[in-house]
Amino acid sequence: DIVMTQTPLSSPVTLGQPASISCRSSQSLVHSDGNTYLNWLQQRPGQPPRLLIYKSSNRFSGVPDRFSGSGAGTDFTLKISRVEAEDVGVYYCMQATQFPYTFGQGTKLEIK
């Protein structure tokens, strides 16, 4: 199974400041079809997960442009350019390149 490791696990951030979450996979996420199936999810308190980024760097419909994803192979990053109060929650990376799909442990974003 592919192991997904996120850092940090907790991220206190000042409003208006940037935030960054790293995700590393135990093996390359490049699929045989050439795509990299690495997604980023946001889960606000008491809410279901919400897709933010798919295939490493594609922002999903309706997601603010302050969210961006980057990376390739085994190293990926989610960046929030200016954190807003509504961004509080847990962020997960997940790989859908190979079954079983696997998730990172989650990174809790909180406001300082």
Using rule CB under 8 A, residue 103 touches another protein: yes
Burial degree of 48 (CB within 10 A; 0-12, 13-18, 19+): exposed
Cβ(75)–Cβ(63) below 8 Å: no
Q: Which one, 16 or 48, has the nearer CB to another protein?
A: 48
Using rule CB under 8 A, residue 45 touches another protein: no
CB of 67 to another protein, least distance (A): 16
Those residues with Cβ within 8 angstroms of residue 44's Cβ, 6 or more apart along the chain or in another chain: 50, 86, 88, 89
Q: Which amino acid is at 37?
A: Y
> Which residue among 15, 70, 105, 110 contacts another protein (CB under 8 A)?
105
Task: Point out which residues bind another protein (CB under 8 A).
Answer: 39, 41, 48-51, 54-55, 60, 92, 94, 96, 99-106
